[in-house]
Chains A and B, each alone.
Chain A
Amino acid sequence: MLSVFKHIKKHRYVVQNFVIRDIKIKYRGTIFGYLWSLLEPLSMVLIYDFVFRIIMRRGDANYPLILVLGILPYNYVSSIIVGGASALVNSASLIRRVPLPRELFVLSVVGSNLVTFLLSMLAAVPFMIAFEIPIGWHLLLFPIPVVLMTAFATGIALVMACINVVYRDVGYVLRVAIRMVMYLSPVIYELDRVPERFRDLYLLNPLSVYLTMARNWMLSRPIDIPPSDVAISVVLALVFLVGGAYTFAMLEKKAVKFL
Chain B
Amino acid sequence: MFWALRGVSFRIQRGEVVGIIGRNGSGKSTLLRVICGIYGPDRGSVMLPTGRVSALLELGSGFRDELSGMENIRLACAIQGFSSSEIDAIIEPIISFSGIEEFIDQPIRTYSSGMKARLGFAVASVVEPDVLLIDEVLAVGDAGFRQRCMTRIEQLVAGDTTVVVVSHNTAELERLCSRLILLERGIVIMDGAVKDVLERYQQITAST
* Pairwise interchain contact B79-A25, C-beta atoms closer than 8 A: no
Q: Which of B62-70, B145-153, B175-183 contacts A (4 or more CB under 8 A)?
A: B62-70
- CB contact between B84 and one of A13, A18, A29, A93 (< 8 Å): that residue: A13
Which residues from B are CB-within-8-Å of A100? Answer: 79
Which residues from A are CB-within-8-Å of B171? Answer: none
Which residues from A are CB-within-8-Å of B81? Answer: 11, 13
* Pairwise interchain contact B83-A13, C-beta atoms closer than 8 A: yes
* Pairwise interchain contact A257-B39, C-beta atoms closer than 8 A: yes
> B9 CB to closest chain A CB, in angstroms?
21
> A194 CB to closest chain B CB, in angstroms?
44
In residues 22-74 of chain B, which contact A (Cβ within 8 Å)?
A: 33, 36-40, 53, 55, 57-58, 61-62, 64, 66-67, 71, 74
> A247 CB to closest chain B CB, in angstroms?
17
Which residues from B are CB-within-8-Å of A16? Answer: 78, 84
CA distance A193 to B36 in the complex (A): 56
* Chain B residue at smallest Cβ distance from A95: B38
* Pairwise interchain contact B64-A21, C-beta atoms closer than 8 A: yes
* Pairwise interchain contact A98-B79, C-beta atoms closer than 8 A: yes
In residues 1-57 of chain A, which contact B (Cβ within 8 Å)?
A: 11, 13-14, 16-18, 21, 24-25, 28-29
> B101 CB to closest chain A CB, in angstroms?
22
* Pairwise interchain contact B75-A256, C-beta atoms closer than 8 A: no
Among B55, B58, B67, B78, max chain A CB count under 10 A is at: B78
Residue B111 is within 8 A (CB to CB) of chain A in the complex: no
On whether A256 and B39 interact (CB within 8 A), knowing A16-B84, A100-B79, the answer reads yes
* Pairwise interchain contact B37-A99, C-beta atoms closer than 8 A: yes
Which residues from A are CB-within-8-Å of B67? Answer: 21, 24-25
- CB contact between B38 and one of A24, A29, A99 (< 8 Å): that residue: A99
> A48 CB to closest chain B CB, in angstroms?
33
- CB contact between B66 and one of A28, A98, A256 (< 8 Å): that residue: A28
CA distance A257 to B1 in the complex (A): 13
On whether A256 and B38 interact (CB within 8 A), knowing A13-B83, A24-B71, the answer reads yes
CA distance A97 to B66 in the complex (A): 19
Residue-by-residue, is B86-101 near A (CB-CB < 8 Å gives 1, otherwise 0)? 0100000000000000
CA distance A159 to B87 in the complex (A): 33
- CB contact between A98 and one of B38, B64, B84, B87 (< 8 Å): that residue: B38
On whether A99 and B55 interact (CB within 8 A), knowing A17-B78, A28-B66, A253-B40, the answer reads yes
- CB contact between A17 and one of B58, B62, B66, B75 (< 8 Å): that residue: B75
CA distance A25 to B79 in the complex (A): 18
CA distance A141 to B55 in the complex (A): 46
Residue A118 is within 8 A (CB to CB) of chain B in the complex: no
In residues 88-105 of chain A, which contact B (Cβ within 8 Å)?
A: 93-100
> B189 CB to closest chain A CB, in angstroms?
24
Residue-by-residue, is B121-133 near A (CB-CB < 8 Å gives 1, otherwise 0)? 0000000000000
> A202 CB to closest chain B CB, in angstroms?
42
> A19 CB to closest chain B CB, in angstroms?
11
Of the A-B pairs whose beta carbons lie under 8 Å apart in the complex, a sample of 21, sorted by A's number, is: A13-B78, A13-B84, A13-B87, A14-B79, A16-B84, A17-B74, A17-B79, A21-B67, A24-B66, A25-B66, A25-B67, A93-B62, A94-B62, A96-B38, A96-B58, A97-B38, A98-B62, A98-B79, A99-B53, A100-B79, A253-B39
Q: Which residues of A contact B (CB under 8 A)?
A: 11, 13-14, 16-18, 21, 24-25, 28-29, 93-100, 253, 256-257
Q: Which residues of B contact A (CB under 8 A)?
A: 33, 36-40, 53, 55, 57-58, 61-62, 64, 66-67, 71, 74-75, 78-79, 81-84, 87
